[in-house]
Chain A
């Protein structure tokens, strides 16, 4: 910057000055872009190096095995991978209808006086640190959830049914489903805010012409507004899913932290992020650390795959 400044002082002509500045600006932008890219590359590289001992020792079994035993140093990631996918998937299922309701209400139905308070409340939800969600989840939400959701659900289950299998566990409000609910609350503002922006971006003429043709409100929303934002909505959902996959603290507090495959939605489980958060600080043996770093790489790959899938879906939709 200083060198460029000195050159500028020596250059008398205003046109040259502009050109030099232009070039410097170009370089600065290029540097910013490549810095990020190389940081990302470095991150993947160091995760791969750090996790290599685990990959080399366990091979493909690392992804299939569900044992996670720091005493005998046998590590398998499948329990954590399944836990991550299940909890994030359930969270998305819970959050999506709500987020759509919030966004549609704010844009299409809401009286002007309510628009601001509700919009601000949704944005505030996005600003709460995840540790607060974790503490609230463990001390306030879990006891309530256990008493009013899990116990009734377990007592209502007919013996021998799939319903019963899905709801076995200790009804104290922690477990896969409880973690999914907390995750849903956390990703809801992201999805809702993005959907709202998308709906707001619909040209008024489109909506008005639909009304002009005599459509009801529901018909306008279902047949005009939602199809119009379809492509962008996939992006919004993937953004929410990406956040749910990597969420650490809130999940760690409430998921119950049991390694291995979760047997029901009320059972304890573990996610990749919660396992790393739980064990990294106290992992003393090299293989334990390597296995945790390898888990980090797996999470990285999953998140990357989700993003890539989103791109693919958007490209497909756009081509139609």
Chain B
């Protein structure tokens, strides 16, 4: 009886050994692992698939959230971390990290008002802040009526909808409100805040569902989500005073207007940027890496992957409704990679090589 068991166990072990053997045989190119933000995860998966076909590199990306990504890279358990919220230069310095953006997205206010279709309602930053502070309670409030002459707004209470889970979307949105409204300072900006009013929905789909189900609701979602689900977005006033709609071109305009050379560690939130068509709530998602690499080959693989993605991945990004970075920014990022060095003190990867 026991003898049999031992034989069975041995057979199982042998089988396990076999399958391990075949696994290692299958992987040809270098393997890299990353973890973090969920927002860019579909795109990284797409890039990984294409890069594997083109270069043989295998990327294992775990979308565990920006907070998790930052913790994992600080603990050095992954080759790179990903975060929707850029780390401040002093935080980078403290942990010996550097960061660079990969793609951009934006946040779009959406509303549910009978008789008002997408792109009809105009909102300014300070009004949006007053709505989310609970100061403006009705759609007929003079603050809203004043900027919407000719639009008949229903006499409904405003139901504020926000994200309940911590997210980069909330971080961008609250950072924008802090930037344009002094009154928002009491709430502050973070990936989850203490909301003065409103309902919390989990994820973009939770916010979208609550907004759709509540007449008179206003919410905010990621641009890609708003576009793919044809949500009733509002126009938002930008720094130049124009009311513009959330389109890929207008996000790109925000990035073009920004001066990345003056942003140490690429710490730049593209909020309220100058430019005729710049969408005011735009932001990039970031990759975090250690400056001092112990495994130069792995770091090289990571950088070559993103170099490949900058060169070949723009069309895939656009297909998934992300906004690619302008060419000038990509050049700056490639230059910054010389700061990532191996044990010998030399840069691990030189673009174009």
Q: Quick one: which of B160-200 are within 8 Å of A by CB?
A: 164-168, 187-195, 198-200
A143 to B211, CA, bound (A): 11
- Is B339 an interface position by the 8 A CB rule? no
**Quick one: CB contact mask for B141-167 with A, threshold 8 Å, 1 for yes?**
000000000000000000100001111
The number of inter-chain residue pairs (CB within 8 angstroms) is: 112
Question: Among residues 253 to 280 in chain A, which have CB atoms less than 8 Å away from a CB atom of chain B?
Answer: 253, 256-259, 268, 270, 274, 277-280
Which chain B residue shows the least CB distance to A146?
B213
Task: Give Cα distance in the complex from A277 to B217, angstroms.
Answer: 25
Instruction: Give complex CA distance A142, B192 in Å.
Output: 24
A68 to B71, CA, bound (A): 22
List, in ascending order, chain A residues with CB within 8 A of B210's CB. Answer: 138, 172, 174
Cβ-based interface call for B319 (8 A) = no
- Asked if A69 CB lies within 8 Å of chain B CBs, one says yes
B134 contacts which chain A residues (CB < 8 A)?
none
- Tell me the smallest distance from the CB of B88 to a CB of chain A, in Å: 11
User: Which of A4-12, A26-34, A119-127, A227-235 touches B?
Assistant: A4-12
In the assembled complex, B85 has its CB within 8 A of some CB on chain A: yes
Expressed in whole angstroms, the Cα–Cα distance for A172 and B157 within the complex equals: 13
Map CB proximity to A onto B194-221 as digits: 1 under 8 Å, 0 otherwise: 1100111110001001100110010000
Name, among B164, B209, B210, B213, the residue most crowded by chain A CB atoms within 10 Å (CB to CB). Answer: B164
- A282 with B159: CB separation less than 8 A: no
The reply to whether A259 and B6 form a contact with Cβ atoms under 8 Å apart is no
Residue pair B201, A5 in contact (C-beta under 8 Å):
no
Report whether B194 and A170 are in contact in the complex, using a CB–CB cutoff of 8 Å: no
Does B70 touch A at the CB level, under 8 Å?
Answer: yes
A2 interface residue per 8 A CB criterion: yes
Are B165 and A282 touching (Cβ within 8 A)?
A: yes
- Contact pick for A1, options B5, B38, B167, B201, CB 8 Å: B5
> Is A139's CB within 8 Å of the partner chain B?
yes
Tell whether A284 pairs with B2 under 8 Å between CB atoms, given A256-B199, A257-B201, A279-B165. Answer: no
A70 touches B190 (CB 8 A): yes
Query: How many A residues, CB 8 Å from partner?
Result: 39
Judged by a CB distance under 8 angstroms, whether B64 is at the interface is yes
Question: Cβ of B194 and Cβ of A70 under 8 Å apart?
Answer: yes
List residues of chain A with CB within 8 A of the CB of B200.
Answer: 256-258, 268, 270, 278
Contacts of A138 in B (CB 8 A): 206, 209-210
Query: Which of A1, A69, A138, A281 is the most central at the interface, judged by chain B CB atoms within 10 Å of its CB?
Result: A281
Residue B3 lies at the interface, judged by CB distance under 8 Å to chain A: yes
- The verdict on A284 contacting B85 (CB below 8 Å), with A5-B3, A253-B202, A257-B202 known, is yes
Count B interface residues, CB 8 Å.
40
Name B1-54 residues within 8 Å CB distance of A. Answer: 2-3, 5-6, 9, 38
Contact partners of A256 in chain B: CB under 8 A: 164, 199-200
Are the C-beta atoms of A284 and B159 separated by less than 8 Å?
Answer: no
User: Using Cβ atoms and an 8 Å threshold, which residues of chain A touch B217?
Assistant: 172
Known contacts A172-B213, A257-B200; A284 and B195 CB within 8 A of each other: no
A72 on the B face (CB < 8 A): yes
By the criterion CB–CB under 8 Å, are A259 and B199 in contact? no
Select from chain A the residue with minimum beta-carbon distance to B190.
Answer: A71
Shortest Cβ distance from A5 into B: residue: B2
**Residue from B2, B159, B166, B199 within 8 A of A281 (CB atoms):** B166
B44 to nearest A CB, angstroms?
17
- Please pick, from B67, B187, B194, B209, the residue contacting A282 in the complex, using a CB distance under 8 A: B67
How far apart sit A70 and B199, CA to CA, in the bound complex (Å)? 17
Residue in A69, A71, A142, A281 whose beta carbon sits within 8 Å of that of B68 in the complex: A281
- B residues near A253, Cβ cutoff 8 Å: 202, 206
Q: Do B166 and A282 touch (CB < 8 A)?
A: yes
- Which residue of A has the minimal Cβ distance to B191? A282
Q: Which of A217-253 contact B (CB under 8 A)?
A: 252-253
Within 8 A of A (CB), among B64-79: 64-68, 70-71
Q: Please pick, from A4, A72, A170, A283, the residue contacting B214 in the complex, using a CB distance under 8 A.
A: A170
The answer, yes or no, to whether A215 is at the interface (CB within 8 Å) is no
Task: With A67-B194, A68-B194, A268-B199 as known contacts, state yes or no: A282 contacts B213, CB within 8 Å.
Answer: no
Q: Write the A159-173 contact mask toward B (1 if CB under 8 angstroms, else 0).
A: 000000000001011
From A5, A274, A280, give the contact of B6 (CB < 8 A). Answer: A5
List 10 interface pairs A-B (beta carbons < 8 Å), by A numbering: A71-B187, A71-B194, A139-B209, A142-B209, A257-B201, A268-B199, A268-B200, A278-B202, A281-B165, A283-B166
Contact surface of B with A, Cβ cutoff 8 Å = 2-3, 5-6, 9, 38, 64-68, 70-71, 85, 159, 164-168, 187-195, 198-202, 206, 209-210, 213-214, 217
Given contacts A1-B5, A258-B195, A280-B67, 11 further A-B contacts (CB under 8 A): A69-B193, A71-B187, A71-B193, A172-B199, A172-B217, A253-B206, A281-B65, A281-B66, A281-B166, A282-B165, A284-B85
9 cross-chain pairs, A with B, having the tightest CB-CB distances, nearest first:
A282-B166, A281-B65, A257-B200, A257-B164, A71-B188, A69-B194, A172-B214, A5-B2, A278-B165
